[in-house]
Amino acid sequence: MRNLFSGWLFVTVIIIIHACTEPVKPTAMQVSATEQTKPFDIKPSATSSENDFDFLVGKWKVHNRMLKERLARNNEWVEFESELHMRKALNGFSNVENYYSTFNGKPFEGMAVRLFNPKTKLWKVYWMDTNGCVMDEKPVTGSFENGVGKLYALDTFNNKNITILYQWDSRNLQQPKWSQAFSEDEGKTWEWNWEMVLTRIIE
């Protein structure tokens, strides 16, 4: 989802813009230089398992909160709603997520394909969406520990080399959270630019 809104400056009816008066405070989610596994020497946790994403199976309403501009010392956030559906595949060693929303009055659909490697005990997540209809060639990689999953990738953003962090927090099974952060200094500091709070749809 890293480049999902790289070109948007248009306001839709589902977007609410907030001008924040204080800087973003990522304390609870901050990954410090001492805590972070080096992004490209990623080792699985001792408990890493193909069942790590089981909490996400089903259908969810999603409240999104996202920085309007990334890596620009920007404190203006946009908020919007979406829906997420997830199912397991490949005998439980994979899962497929469908993400639905509306942008600029047009339907938007994204898809995440997650694969668990039983040899390395690591997850890889591949993203694709209707903006480009191509699969992400730089999947994030990582594992879960104590209900928190951290997955990393190298990429570029506005011609800058960055490290990307996807973080899943499943410690509250009723409202799991997904967050995204970018780092320009190989993980020493992070800018959190997107948070999704999920609420299960009861069918």
pLDDT in tens, 21-40: 333 333 333 333 334 444 47
Instruction: Identify whether 85 is part of a domain.
Output: yes
Instruction: Identify whether 141 is part of a domain.
Output: yes
Average pLDDT score over the chain: 85
Print the domain residue range for 154: 16-21+34-200
Instruction: Identify whether 27 is part of a domain.
Output: no
- 3-state percent helix, strand, coil for the chain, nearest multiple of 5: 5, 50, 45
Instruction: Identify whether 8 is part of a domain.
Output: no
Cα 29 to the chain's mean position, in Å?
A: 13
Q: What are phi and psi of 186, to 5 degrees?
A: 60, 35
Structure tokens at 16: 């609410």
| pLDDT above 70 for 185 | yes
pTM: 0.81
Q: What is the CATH number of the domain that holds 147?
A: 2.40.128.20
pLDDT in tens, 132-172: 888 888 999 999 999 999 999 999 999 999 999 999 999 99
Instruction: Identify whether 1 is part of a domain.
Output: no
| pLDDT above 70 for 109 | yes
Looking at residue 105, its pLDDT comes to 86
Instruction: Identify whether 181 is part of a domain.
Output: yes
Instruction: Identify whether 3 is part of a domain.
Output: no
The structural domain count of the chain equals 1
Instruction: Identify whether 106 is part of a domain.
Output: yes
